[in-house]
Every structure is written in C-alpha cells, then in structure tokens.
Structure 1
C-alpha cells in the first residue's frame, strides 16, 4: 500500500531507509546541535591551557583564526556531502556509498571512537569546571581527581537520561543552548572588558610567546606551537552532528548543509572575540603559569570573586548543554552504523523505542565514554591533565580522519558525484585538497608526546604522562582492520537498504 510522504522521507527512501526517527527538528535546531557541540563556552575554557603552555598568546590570537579558516574549508566540503546524502549515518554512509564497504567500515569506526571521545572530554571538562566553581564557594573545598570523576559520572548519566526520556525536549534545549552561548559569551566579554582594574597590552596579546611545555625553545615553531593549535582544532569539531540528525530535520538537504558550515563560521568569530577578551585580562602571567595555564586563573586574578564565579558558572552551563548535544549526535551515529550491521550486537543498538529514540545506543555510547576517561583518575608528574588532553586528541584524530575519507572519495569521484541542492561547484577540487592536507598534518601532530615525560627513552619518562591517543586510535584501527580482514569483509556490505521501492512502506514502526 502506497504511503504519502513529504520530500524528506522520499529522499530518505531513495537512499534506502524508512523514516524511523521522528522528523520534527527545524533547520535552526539542526544548526543548534553543531553550534552547541562546538561550544566555545566549552572548548575555549577547557583547552585554553593547551594553547597557553604551548605557544602562549600567539598560539591563540593568530592560531585560532588561521586554523578556524582551515576547518571552515573542511566544513564546506562536508556541507556538500550532507546535502547530497542527508542520512543519520553521515560520514560513514558517504564513504561507503562513494567508495567501497571497506571505506565505510573504517570511517564508521573512526567516527564512532571520535564521537565517544568528544562526549567524554566535554563532560569531563564540565566536571572539572564545576569542581572549580564549587571550590570558589568554599575555600576548604577538597575535591580532587576522584571527586571530579564522580561529578563526571553524574553529568554523563544526566545527559543519557535527558536524551532517553526527553526526546522532544532535546531539540528545544538545543535552541536554548544557542542563545545561552550568544548572550553568555557577550556577558563574559563585557565582564572581562569592564571588570579588571587593568588590561594587557596589545603587544602582549598579539606577539607574546610562552613555552611551558618542557620542550626546548629550539622546538618552539615546528613542534611546540602546533601543539597549541589543539585548542582550535578540538573546540571547532563535532559539526558532523548536522548530518547525524538529518533524518530528524525538515528540508535536510538544504538546512543541514547550511547548519554545518554556519555553525563553524559563527563559532570561529565568536571564539576569537572570547579568547581575545581572555588574553587582555590575563595580567597575572606568573599566577596563570602556576595554575598550568588554566583559564579559571585568569578570572580569579583579574576579577572580583563574584564576577569570577559568574564567568565560570556561565561556562559550566554552556558545557552542560554541549555534552547533552554530544550524546545526541553520538547515539544517532551509533544507531545508523548498527542499522547497517557495523557494530557487534547491531540489532540491540539499532532499536528505537515507542518515542523513536535509540535508547540502547545512548546507553552504550555513554558507558564507552566513561571507560575511555578512566585514566583521568591518575595524576601526571607535572600536574598537567595529560590524560584529559589525550582524550581530546583521540576526539580530534578520530573525527578528522573520519572526515578525511569521504572528502578524498568525493575528490576521486569528480564529475560522477551527483550533488544536492547545496554544492561547491568547481571549487570542490581546491577546497577538498586543502582539507585533506590539513587533516593529515594535524593528525600527525596530535599523536605526538604532549610533554617530555611522555617521550620514550626520556629519563623523566612516566606512563601517566604518555599521550595515549595513538595507542587508543591505533588499537581501534588494528582491531577493526584485523576484524575486517578475518571476517567483516565477507558480510559487511555497507548501507543496508530497508526500502527498494521508494513509494512503498516507508515509515518505520516503533
């Protein structure tokens, strides 16, 4: 029996799927989830120390806009792809369709580990700043690593529950999150402009170099400074969420493409303004260095206690919204990859409940994020949160390598590619190659040691200082590569069509 469908469901049927998820998100909500996951109230706060210690102000004032520009190019390439293929599988689906099943297999697993790591890092960062905020209300506060991890567990459980039981609420909260970020950032900038008694000079903000990495100054330009770019590369990521919720978005072929690149552009501009405000307020360099470059040290040294609490509270709430969005994106990708039998126990993870919510995928992803963050319970010899930065590196490497594969495959397809309503036209070639080269370069840097104590053979070498990003990502690649060679290549065929006739039986039952 034929079913009347709107254009979105028809297009989804042409791609081979029934409309199982509820398509109730507006274009603004689609933009909002990526804008919330990028979350300059999260990344600019939690990884500020990475740039401060590895390069100093110039890693931020010059590094941020340059790297953000490269990321926007990556976003343009991905916008063209989501316009052509608006499915929840997103980048893994694009890879499998434009290439072979093996491309979809590796892309899917890289994307999945990246999304799990993003969720873990955002929620752990939120727990860290919440712990700091609580300590500001009580000078005798003794919340250490164990307590921070406990807060992290509470936060990620709350995010799982919101996504499971608040399926209508999530889209509303995404929209609220956008305005929280807009007005929150504006409030923080105004506080940092008018709150301090004095400000740094423009010379400090735009030319000062700092090297607290432990590596020699001779390594500054080619090694230390690029490590500082992790701030930008980590903050502006997770924008593939626009694709993962495209099956829930109206007019997805247009709105998801626009939401993706706009979330990057607006975050790039807003983040730079916010970080400049940080640096102009960073007058007590000695104390900030003692606090390992923590952004909170800027606020506590430059502002009154009340204003410092206000700034950190605004950030904590923004980070909470960000983590909620991360769980949404992660669960949709898990659902879609399982729908195509790419994950063990696929039938379990691809189930949706009566509200069309992939509950099991939410639980599995949040549990994996908890396990990935366990090394954060151990303190590094230097006191720097090396384990946290390693999780951040895993997120960056996993996601951007997953982005690289379909971008390269689109380049290889050339004129055979059938674009959607949003297209780059002939500019896809130069933009695509720029994107590929940038991703390769940053992936190499972010598997490198983040501190001398993490360099094998160094006298100060210590396991707690090791960047375990290459170990985690490498283990995943070896595992899924071996699995592919021994088994998966015989049965994983890429996207599994649910629909052969786009006019029949297109709406999935609960």
Structure 2
C-alpha cells in the first residue's frame, strides 16, 4: 500500500513521523548521493585494506570478491532504500525498526538497531581516518623522513579527526559543497590512477594473475576459509551508504532523493572500485615488495615501483585527499545518527549530544562525540598489529546488522508495509530474503580470527567490542530504557 507522500511537503512528512523540522533542509538529491558515495570511497576502503587482500586471498579474491560482494551489497541497499522512502528521517534505521516491529517489542527492536548503528558508524569513522593517517604517514616518510611508526600514525589520526570535526562544525552548506567536489575527485582520481598505471610501466601482470592468482599468507591452511575472510576488504568498503538516510531531514524531496542516494552510491562505487582494483593489481611490479613495503602501505609501494618516486608520490596524494573527503563525510553522517538517537534519549548525556548550534543549525556536540569515539576505538593499534582489520570488522558487523534489521522487519510485515513513492514492487520479498541471509553470513565471518597463530598481537578484537556495546545496551535496556525509550506515555 503506497503512502501519499508526494502530496505533502518534506516538513509535513517529517511531522507525520513525529519530529519537528530543526536541521537546515538545504541539500539537493545529488548532494545526498555525494555523502554516501564519499563515505563508501573506493579510494579509501579499497586502498587501505588492499594489503590485507594481498595476504588474504591475493589478486583472485581482490577482483572476484569485489564483484560478488558488490552484487550482494546492491541487494542490501535496494531493500534499505525501499524502507527509507517510507520513513525519511535522520533517525534512520532505528526509527524504521520502531515503525515496523510488533507493537509489544518495537521499542526494543529500535533500541538495539540504533546501538548497532552507532557502533558501526563510530568504527567506520575510525577506520576511514586511520587509513588516511596511515597513507599520510607513508607520504610524509617518503617526502620528509617522518617515519611510519604506530606513534606517528596515531598523532596524524588525531589531527585528521580534529580537522574533520572542525569542518563539520561550520555547517551543512560547506560539507555539502565539499562532498560534491569529492564525487568528481574520486571519479577523476580513479581515472587518473588507472590510466597512468596502464600507460607508464613497461611491465604489467597477466590477466590470469589478476583474476586467478590465489595467495595465502595468513597461517591458516584452509583455502576456503581464507577466501571467505578475504571478503572483508570489499564488504568494509561498501559501508556508510546509510548516510543518505540520515541526511534526509536536510535533503529536498527526501522520500525519493534518499533512496536514490543509497542505490546510486553503491552501483557507481561498484564500477569505480572494480576498475581501480584491476588497474592497481595489473601494475604490481614486485608482489613481495608490495606486501613487505617499508611504508606499511602496499599501494604506495606499487605506485613507486611502477612510476618512480615523483609519480608514485603524486598518485599517493590523490588517494590521501580522497580519504580526507571520505572521513569528513563519515563524521557528518555519524553526528546525524548520534543527534537523532540522543534526541530520543538513547545515549548517555543525551541532552548534550542533541543540542543544535543556533548559528549553523548543525549538531555540533554530536560532531565532537563522533570524532572522539573514533579516536578511542583506534587506540589499540599501539599494541595490536591487526587492530586496523579489527576496526574494519567492527564497522562492517555493526553497520550491516543495523542495515538488515529493518529489512527483516519489513519482510515480517508483509503486505501491511506502507510503501513510499520509491519501492521494489514484486521484487521486494526475494531481495529482502537474500539480504538478510547474506548479512547473517558475514556477521559470523568477520568475527573469526584473521591470522594464525592467534596471539595478543594478532587477536581479532571485533567480538569483544560488539559484545561490550551489546552488553551495555542490554543492561541499560533492562534497567531503565525499556520503560521510556520511544514511549510518549513515559517520557524520560
């Protein structure tokens, strides 16, 4: 049954959903797409986990894994987009869960969906900006001798988060402008990188190598296991497109622009990422040299080996700028989720986090919480060599659980679900079933150990982070929140 959304304004639809327009509604449909595309950022996710992929599955899994994961992600995104069209609010996923869950348990579904979303978004912000710090450290090492050490990387990580918090403090118009620039930077950047790597080097790898070479440097003996955990690179990259949903309160024609932003950001990234990964892998001059690069960043070594010092550093700068755009957009989306969740009292000190800056009409305090939480999540890198892969696992698990809960509830609701103006028609149910099954698989998969033997230095601490957050949310729910969360009769 379709909703009569087109006949009401964005503000009226938001009021129907129980919220008053507070944020500035100044984003176009393109700007909404640009936020999600920028957070997906193939020049961030693909590049920062490329070294992980070289050791875990090698070229075969980098290419075929990307194709397979991209297809499954598009299905997850289509299912999300349909629900977004019905409920265009920055509360996003947890609000969707509340509207579609059975009456007796709807607040609980919303509560845990929101907490998984917060966990995933903080982790993805940490992953993006930590990756940017690693690439920036590699560049500074090559250019100025600023050694690529864990301490130096953490200093740069903190500085980048500070920069992104400041940029988001200045208002949505600046962020929207930078995100629009970011789209073209990413597309042109991929074109330049792949074009240069295709034309300049005298030697390239064979097509059989790029699509068929399987590499296992994890210590595990099962090729199947290694191939499955290799999917983390692609699945982590395809995160953050819920930003289009969280920005709907700031987007014009939100019931259509939001869903389009989700779907368009995925398929454009799918194409661009495949081109980038293939171009980079064809250009490998020394596989062992790339994996064991002194910079700690295999793509940087591939650039240097293929193009020389000057050309390699130039391409590295293209990647770093794209990663900085990506991190800025991630802080934007993260802060909107924190703002919406705290508006409903679901975070400690919620009154602080949902305050709006009267000058910019942005949730400034939520911006700083997003940046601070990301920094804390990155601290284990100082003692754990696989910490970055763990952070990306946390981001992927947290976000995809939050992504698929509304889809699961939409399936349970069946024909009683009220469709918005953008919907999947008769394909809604099969797409939803496949999406739920896929997320169930990857949730288990990315909690498993990535390196053998498992030690303190190589332990995948993703399960600990997920259980800790889930445990905290569960205790708070049982002790207090179940009585007041999203309950108008019992305000907090």
Q: TM-score range by the shorter chain?
A: over 0.9
Per-residue CA deviations over 1:260-289 (Å, capped at 9, x if unaligned) read: 101000000000010000110013112123
Could you say if the C-alpha distance between residues 107 and 496 of structure 1 is closer, same or farther in structure 2, counting changes exceeding 3 Å? farther
TM-fit CA distance, 1:294: 2.1
Q: After the TM superposition, which residues 82-481 of structure 1 pair with which residues of structure 2 at under 5 Å, given as runs?
A: 82-99=84-101, 100-138=106-144, 140-216=145-221, 219-221=222-224, 223-291=225-293, 294-354=298-358, 355-380=360-385, 386-454=386-454, 462-481=455-474
Q: Is the 8 A contact 2:171 2:362 kept in 1?
A: no
Q: How many residues align?
A: 478
Could you say if the C-alpha distance between residues 495 and 202 of structure 1 is closer, same or farther in structure 2, counting changes exceeding 3 Å? farther
SS of corresponding position for 1:50:
helix
For 2:305 and 2:193, locate their aligned partners in 1 and report how far apart those are by CA, in whole Å: 15
For 2:84 and 2:349, locate their aligned partners in 1 and report how far apart those are by CA, in whole Å: 27
Could you say if the C-alpha distance between residues 494 and 199 of structure 1 is closer, same or farther in structure 2, counting changes exceeding 3 Å? farther
Q: Is the 8 A contact 2:135 2:320 kept in 1?
A: yes
SS of corresponding position for 1:20:
coil
Could you say if the C-alpha distance between residues 244 and 438 of structure 1 is closer, same or farther in structure 2, counting changes exceeding 3 Å? same
TM-fit CA distance, 1:134: 1.2
For 2:474 and 2:407, locate their aligned partners in 1 and report how far apart those are by CA, in whole Å: 21
In the TM superposition, structure 1's runs of 4+ consecutive aligned residues that sit over 3 Å from their partners are 494-498
For 1:121 and 1:209, locate their aligned partners in 2 and report how far apart those are by CA, in whole Å: 26
TM-fit CA distance, 1:494: 6.0
Q: Is the 8 A contact 1:16 1:496 kept in 2?
A: no
Q: Is the 8 A contact 1:284 1:302 kept in 2?
A: no
Q: Is the 8 A contact 2:33 2:262 kept in 1?
A: yes
For 2:327 and 2:288, locate their aligned partners in 1 and report how far apart those are by CA, in whole Å: 32
Q: Give the alignment's Cα RMSD to 1 decimal.
A: 1.6
For 1:209 and 1:142, locate their aligned partners in 2 and report how far apart those are by CA, in whole Å: 32
Could you say if the C-alpha distance between residues 378 and 188 of structure 1 is closer, same or farther in structure 2, counting changes exceeding 3 Å? same
For 2:27, the equivalent position in structure 1 comes to: 25
Question: Unaligned regions of 5+ residues in structure 1, if any?
Answer: 381-385, 455-461, 499-510
For 2:4, the equivalent position in structure 1 comes to: none
Per-residue CA deviations over 1:282-310 (Å, capped at 9, x if unaligned) read: 13112123237822222122221111111
- Larger deviation: 297-306 or 122-131? 297-306
Per-residue CA deviations over 1:351-403 (Å, capped at 9, x if unaligned) read: 101121101111112111111110011253xxxxx001100000000000111
Q: After the TM superposition, which residues 34-73 of structure 1 pair with which residues of structure 2 at under 5 Å, given as runs?
A: 34-73=36-75
Could you say if the C-alpha distance between residues 350 and 266 of structure 1 is closer, same or farther in structure 2, counting changes exceeding 3 Å? same
Task: Report the TM-score, using the length of structure 2 for normalisation.
Answer: 0.95
For 1:78 and 1:261, locate their aligned partners in 2 and report how far apart those are by CA, in whole Å: 9
For 2:35 and 2:47, locate their aligned partners in 1 and report how far apart those are by CA, in whole Å: 19
For 1:497 and 1:47, locate their aligned partners in 2 and report how far apart those are by CA, in whole Å: 46
Q: Is the 8 A contact 2:28 2:252 kept in 1?
A: yes
Question: Unaligned regions of 5+ residues in structure 2, if any?
Answer: 1-6
Q: Is the 8 A contact 2:48 2:297 kept in 1?
A: no
SS of corresponding position for 2:457:
helix
Could you say if the C-alpha distance between residues 495 and 248 of structure 1 is closer, same or farther in structure 2, counting changes exceeding 3 Å? farther
For 1:156 and 1:239, locate their aligned partners in 2 and report how far apart those are by CA, in whole Å: 20
Per-residue CA deviations over 1:374-433 (Å, capped at 9, x if unaligned) read: 0011253xxxxx001100000000000111211100000000000111001121111001
TM-fit CA distance, 1:453: 3.0
Task: Report the TM-score, using the length of structure 1 for normalisation.
Answer: 0.91
For 1:25 and 1:169, locate their aligned partners in 2 and report how far apart those are by CA, in whole Å: 11
Q: Is the 8 A contact 1:57 1:206 kept in 2?
A: yes
Q: Is the 8 A contact 1:376 1:388 kept in 2?
A: yes
For 2:209 and 2:255, locate their aligned partners in 1 and report how far apart those are by CA, in whole Å: 45
For 2:128 and 2:265, locate their aligned partners in 1 and report how far apart those are by CA, in whole Å: 18
